């Protein structure tokens, strides 16, 4: 496990765990919070009628949860990416282009989990990491989770970050 910090955020990257053990050990990561899902199994979360009835919404390629009362309310498939908030948020739209070909348009968010080996401690991905941190600091979620080739967790809640580190150690 690699850890670090940037501004108000603490981060970790690990290859030993995935989203399931994180949520099993630290359900407070998402309970009583709102999640914006930018990727599920490498693509947009397509909502079913049950999810819509439970209060989920899909806008511009991003699925938004109601206030979560259970970890089971979150679909998980691998190559998932979530932004977690204390109150409802609107991220805009998922950017469909190549983030290296043109500047990211205002009101668009890049999806990072699908970049092979996306890791918050890989200096070989510095351009991608610069874009990630700029986007994260603009959106200002409480936490961010990307479960792809590696598990990346970022939070500005220091107690939550310490609990996640202890659970995954």
The pLDDT value given to residue 44: 94
Q: Write out pLDDT tens, residues 27-62.
A: 999 999 999 999 999 999 999 999 999 999 999 999
Q: Which domain range does residue 55 map to? A: 2-168
Segment 117-147, tens digit of pLDDT: 899 998 889 999 999 999 999 999 999 999 9
**Longest CA pairwise span in the chain (Å):** 43
Confidence at residue 120, expressed as pLDDT on a 0 to 100 scale: 94
pLDDT for 159 beyond 90: yes
Q: What is residue 79's DSSP assignment? A: S
Segment 70-125, tens digit of pLDDT? 999 998 898 999 999 999 999 999 998 888 887 788 899 999 999 988 999 988 89
Number of domains forming the structure of the chain: 1
Tokens matching residue 91:
């991220």
Q: Of 84, 78, 86, which is closest to residue 19 (Cα–Cα)?
A: 78
- pTM, full prediction: 0.95
Percentage helix, strand, coil, to 5, in the chain?
25, 25, 45
> How does DSSP assign 46-94, residue by residue?
PPPHHHHHTT-EEETTEEE--S-S-GGGS---SSEEEEEESS-----EE
Confidence band of 156 (pLDDT split at 50, 70, 90): very high
What is the per-residue pLDDT for 101? 83
pLDDT of residue 10: 98
pLDDT for 99 equals: 81
């Amino acid at each position: 496990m690699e850890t670090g910090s940037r501004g108000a955020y603490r981060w970790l990257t690990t290859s030993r765990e995935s989203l399931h053990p994180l949520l099993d050990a630290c359900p407070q990561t998402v309970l009583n919070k709102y999640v914006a899902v930018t990727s599920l199994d490498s693509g947009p979360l397509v909502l079913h009628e049950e999810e819509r009835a439970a209060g989920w919404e899909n806008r511009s390629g991003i699925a938004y949860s109601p206030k979560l009362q259970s970890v089971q309310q979150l679909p998980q498939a691998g190559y998932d990416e979530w932004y977690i908030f204390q109150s409802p948020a609107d991220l805009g739209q998922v950017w469909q282009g190549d983030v290296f070909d043109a500047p990211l348009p205002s009101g668009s968010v890049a999806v990072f989990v699908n970049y092979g080996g996306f890791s918050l401690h890989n200096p070989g991905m510095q351009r991608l990491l610069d874009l990630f941190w700029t986007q994260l600091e603009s959106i200002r979620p409480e936490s961010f989770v990307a479960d792809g080739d590696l598990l990346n967790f970022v939070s500005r809640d220091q107690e939550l970050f310490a609990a996640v580190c202890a659970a995954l150690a």
